[in-house]
Structure 1
Amino acid sequence: MKVLFILSIIFFSTFSNAVVKRHDVPPENYVIDKKPEYLIDMPHEGHGVLINSQWVVTVAHTIFYDYVGKDLLIGSKVYEIESVHIHPDYTQPNKDLLKGDLAPLMNFFESRSDIALIKLTSTVSGVEPINIYSGKSEIDKTITVYGRGATGNGLTGEDPDTKSLRVMNQFQNIVESAKGNWLAFNFDEPENALPLEGMHGSGDSGGASVIFQEGVPFLVGLSSWQLGHGDISDFKGGLYGTTAYQVRVSNYHDWILGVLGS
């Protein structure tokens, strides 16, 4: 079990999600002094999002072991985890997928449901949960995404050594695909990019992807994985032209309500 846990950390730190930035924009432009209070740091790494006074949503691959009884800092208070509910269509890759050609692994990622819900033992006070976007019109919307994992830029890719700095960043991008379980967007080069164009990187998994309607934030996605090609040993995350995938929260609206209702 310990070996599998370590493999999971190494693997998902590489292929899941930190904020990778444009090389021609000062990195400090992406840094924010205060994260949204609904964005929560998970016990090991990655993030969750407060969607109800007693519930947090995250990507399932941030659940490295049994988190029941673990604490989450929400606002200025600590809350204990009562239960974890992983989507029934979530599975972990077998060892054969973690070597050689990336195509089978990418197909595996696309086929599963990378989402989980966490119930707290008590209700959160003093922090406003974020509303879930329940529509189906995500394409062409500008999203703001948060994370404090590794950083880097589109020319050189992400630098894993920066993950330990735990700096909170944000970036923006435009949703280009909203199909089934996933939202997808591309990390464009500067001539076609937004002023704060970027993508998620190592340590950002579960980070909130948000749209604003009349100034009100709505949760549309959760940072999950990057599309890779070729041999797994040659993969470099966060380069210009890379496609990023996020859990499409609207696709799981009924499942979320069902779990909360139970």
Structure 2
Amino acid sequence: MKFTLVLALILLFFSPHSFAVIKRHDIPATAYQVAEPPGYLIDMPHDGHGVLISPSWIVTVAHVIFYDYQGKTIAIGDKSYQVAKVIIHPGYKKPDKSLTQGDAKPLMDFFKSNHDIALVQLTSQVTGITPIKLYSEADERGKTVKVFGRGSTGDGRTGEVKGTKSLKILNRFENKIETLEANWLSLKFDRPPYGLALEGIEGNGDSGGPSVIYKDNIPYLAGLVSWDYWQGDLATFKNGLYGNRSYQVRISSYIKWIRDTINNS
């Protein structure tokens, strides 16, 4: 999640409900930085990210849709495109504020039952950029994903550093999908010497960022950064520590909804 923790939790789902790239403490931060963003990575109008999946469609998490984006412009590559409409999954709900206090379990249960995904249609087709393919297989467990985001940073020993989100530095990390839970992929931030060379977890502002699986050097969109798991009192939540676990929207579970929505529009 992403809150100070009542605020952190509310921000977690009502705004940057996930966190930017949090890194290993024993690896230089520059090793995680990305000089050239992938073309399919989109910065949403208010906060968070989306992913270009066809010439005129972006997929993102529903909780980064803060207001009516119809008519707003989105920068993609070196051009600006106008939003025609936003379609939020009918199963998406915002959490009641009462869930953001006390024991974390009711909020975690709420998140797991939610459908945090939305589609954004553009008024014209994007040119000069190749959309990413969707990962449709149900075999994600154990696979390595590369995750991109411009949110807050920090390291696994001390967690997220407040104030770094405004820097908007593009980073990426790697992690292995540890568990599959219906509509979710789950990652765990392992402490060295365990984990991958660029092991990490998302930070504040990374919501909607892509989790990418590569097959034969071709990128496939497997997940979208969504929320972080916590046990115990929400007041003790600290984002970005070793051992923390994050949840990502599982694209393979929404293939039919995505395709039907696009075809019917």
Q: TM-score range by the shorter chain?
A: over 0.9
- Using the TM superposition, give the Cα deviation of residue 201 of structure 1 relative to its aligned residue in structure 2, in angstroms: 1.2
Q: Alignment partner of 2:140: what SS?
A: coil
Q: Tell me which moved more, 237-246 or 9-18.
A: 9-18
* Residue 141 (structure 1) aligns with: 143
2:24 to 7, 22, 25: 22
* Residue 256 (structure 1) aligns with: 258
Q: Alignment partner of 2:193: what SS?
A: helix
* Residue 80 (structure 1) aligns with: 82
Q: How does 1:32-111 map to 2 (within 5 A)?
A: 32-111=34-113
Distance, in Å, in 2 between the alignment partners of 1:14 and 1:87 is 19
Taking only the aligned residue pairs, the percentage that are identical comes to 52
1:166-215 per-residue CA deviation (whole Å, 9 max, x = no partner) reads 00000000001122100001000011110000011110000000011111
* Residue 228 (structure 1) aligns with: 230
* 2:81 partner amino acid: Y
TM (norm. structure 1) is 0.95
Q: How does 1:163-182 map to 2 (within 5 A)?
A: 163-182=165-184
Q: Alignment partner of 2:98: what SS?
A: helix
* 1:187 partner amino acid: F
User: Does the C-alpha gap of structure 1 residues 14 and 132 become closer, same or farther in structure 2, counting only changes over 3 Å?
Assistant: closer
User: Does the C-alpha gap of structure 1 residues 8 and 62 become closer, same or farther in structure 2, counting only changes over 3 Å?
Assistant: farther
1:76-101 per-residue CA deviation (whole Å, 9 max, x = no partner) reads 11000000000011000012112111
1:216 to 215, 218, 223: 218
Q: Is the 8 A contact 2:10 2:97 kept in 1?
A: no
- Using the TM superposition, give the Cα deviation of residue 41 of structure 1 relative to its aligned residue in structure 2, in angstroms: 0.1
* Residue 202 (structure 2) aligns with: 200
User: Does the C-alpha gap of structure 1 residues 9 and 112 become closer, same or farther in structure 2, counting only changes over 3 Å?
Assistant: closer
Q: Is the 8 A contact 1:8 1:64 kept in 2?
A: no
Distance, in Å, in 1 between the alignment partners of 2:11 and 2:262 is 32
TM (norm. structure 2) is 0.94
- Using the TM superposition, give the Cα deviation of residue 11 of structure 1 relative to its aligned residue in structure 2, in angstroms: 4.1
Q: Alignment partner of 2:259: what SS?
A: helix
- Using the TM superposition, give the Cα deviation of residue 7 of structure 1 relative to its aligned residue in structure 2, in angstroms: 9.3
- Using the TM superposition, give the Cα deviation of residue 159 of structure 1 relative to its aligned residue in structure 2, in angstroms: 1.2
Structure 1 unaligned residues grouped into runs of 5+? 1-5
Distance, in Å, in 1 between the alignment partners of 2:17 and 2:81 is 29
- Using the TM superposition, give the Cα deviation of residue 17 of structure 1 relative to its aligned residue in structure 2, in angstroms: 2.7
1:1-58 per-residue CA deviation (whole Å, 9 max, x = no partner) reads xxxxx99973445742300000010011000111101000001110000000000000
Distance, in Å, in 1 between the alignment partners of 2:9 and 2:103 is 19
User: Does the C-alpha gap of structure 1 residues 83 and 36 become closer, same or farther in structure 2, counting only changes over 3 Å?
Assistant: same
Q: Alignment partner of 1:160: what SS?
A: coil
Distance, in Å, in 2 between the alignment partners of 1:21 and 1:234 is 21
Distance, in Å, in 1 between the alignment partners of 2:78 and 2:16 is 31
* Residue 10 (structure 1) aligns with: 11
Q: Is the 8 A contact 2:9 2:17 kept in 1?
A: no
Q: Alignment partner of 1:170: what SS?
A: strand
User: Does the C-alpha gap of structure 1 residues 88 and 30 become closer, same or farther in structure 2, counting only changes over 3 Å?
Assistant: same
Distance, in Å, in 2 between the alignment partners of 1:37 and 1:170 is 14
Q: Is the 8 A contact 1:47 1:207 kept in 2?
A: yes
Distance, in Å, in 2 between the alignment partners of 1:247 and 1:101 is 24
* 2:224 partner amino acid: L
Q: Is the 8 A contact 2:16 2:47 kept in 1?
A: no
Q: Alignment partner of 1:28: what SS?
A: helix
Large movers: runs of 4+ above 3 Å: 6-15
More helix by share: 1
Question: What is the alpha-carbon root mean square deviation over aligned residues?
Answer: 1.5
